[in-house]
Structure 1
Amino acid sequence: MPADRKRDDPDAGPPVPGSNASKNHGKRKHTVPHIVVKLWPGKTDAQKKELAEAIARQVMETLDYQEKSVSVAVEEVEQARWREDVHIPDIVEQPERIYKKPGYTM
């Protein structure tokens, strides 16, 4: 962590160089990552909560955010709708956004 940034800084997390966020880094109030996990129905609430907590911990550790800055949602998508609602629009049509590619094809 840079020496000029305190751990309790609500803006914790580096801005993207050259972005508006970078130019206004000292002026904004919060930087809040929100992660959405899409999966088939069938997992228990306990499993979804455990997954959300694990993702939040990793985001805090990897990106240097505070717990209060991170939120995680779980969106259930029926298996019959996966291709049309997730695979094509989120994976096939936006490959530049995928940092961990799936090992399946549809």
Structure 2
Amino acid sequence: MPHVDIKSFPREFTDEEKQALADDITEVIVRRFASKTDSVSVSLQHVSPDAWRETVYEPEIIGQPEFLIKKPGYSM
């Protein structure tokens, strides 16, 4: 039951663009996890740049390095 949680700065996506993003991510997850399409879920949460450090960077990137499989190329 893979779940992908995407957090990003606010950006407008059409419903079609959101669906294409979810389809692309689902395809990779199905292939890499040997999962079924119906088992995958994907969420997209917008985080304002002012809240990024406290909402994402510190608790999820710096605070949970054991789960991070790709480090960002920036620091705060």
Please report the TM-score for the alignment, with normalisation by the length of structure 2: 0.90
Higher RCO (CA-CA < 8 Å; seq separation 6+) = 2
Candidates 13, 16, 21, aligned match of 1:51: 21
Aligned twin of 1:65: 35
TM-score, L = length of structure 1: 0.66
Deviation at 1:49, TM superposition (A): 2.4
Consecutive unaligned residues in structure 1, runs of 5 or more = 1-31
What percent identity do the matched residue pairs reach? Answer: 37
Corresponding residue of 1:37: 6
Residue number among 31, 55, 61 corresponding to 1:85 in the alignment:
55
Unaligned runs of 5+ in 2: none
Bigger proportion of residues as helix: 2
Higher CA-based Rg: 1
Aligned-pair Cα RMSD in Å: 1.1
C-alpha separation in 1, matches of 2:45 and 2:60: 13
Deviation per residue, 1:37-66 (Å, 9 max, x gap): 001111313333222211110000111101
